[in-house]
Amino acid sequence: MSIDSARALAAKVLTDEVLEKQIQDTKTEAEFDDVVAKWGYSCSVAEFMAAFKEAQAKQPISDEELDHAAGGITLVGIDYPFVMTPIVP
């Protein structure tokens, strides 16, 4: 049951910035347990981390992330080939 709770918590963290910040601010496992219990979930740190990685992998890639991954360059308004002419002294 706690793995189901971990998956639900991971999905919530991906959409709730307040919860994400509270979890990031935890320094010990006890603090993590307190925050998780306050939000109504019950799971260990290891279960949450595994579920969070799984949830992140299922997230679609944003257009900005895709642009960075593509590695291309877009020059708006340029519709002719770039030609470089060497300068010889």
pLDDT for 17 equals 93
- Which whole number is the average pLDDT over 23-40? 93
pLDDT of residue 59: 82
CB 15 within 8 A of CB 24: no
Q: Please indicate, yes or no, if residue 36 is contained in any of the structural domains.
A: yes
Instruction: Give me 11's structure tokens.
Output: 């999905």
The domain of 42 spans: 2-60
pLDDT in tens, 37-69: 999 999 999 999 999 999 988 888 777 777 666
As given in the structure block, the two tokens for residue 10 are 């991971």
Residue 51 corresponds to which tokens in the numbers above?
């579920």
Residue 79 lies in a domain: no
32: CB partners within 8 A, 6+ apart: 23, 26, 45, 48
* Residue 54 is assigned to a structural domain of this protein: yes
Tally of domains within the chain: 1
The share of the chain scoring above pLDDT 90, in percent, equals 55
Instruction: Look at residue 33 in the predicted model and tell me its pLDDT.
Output: 93
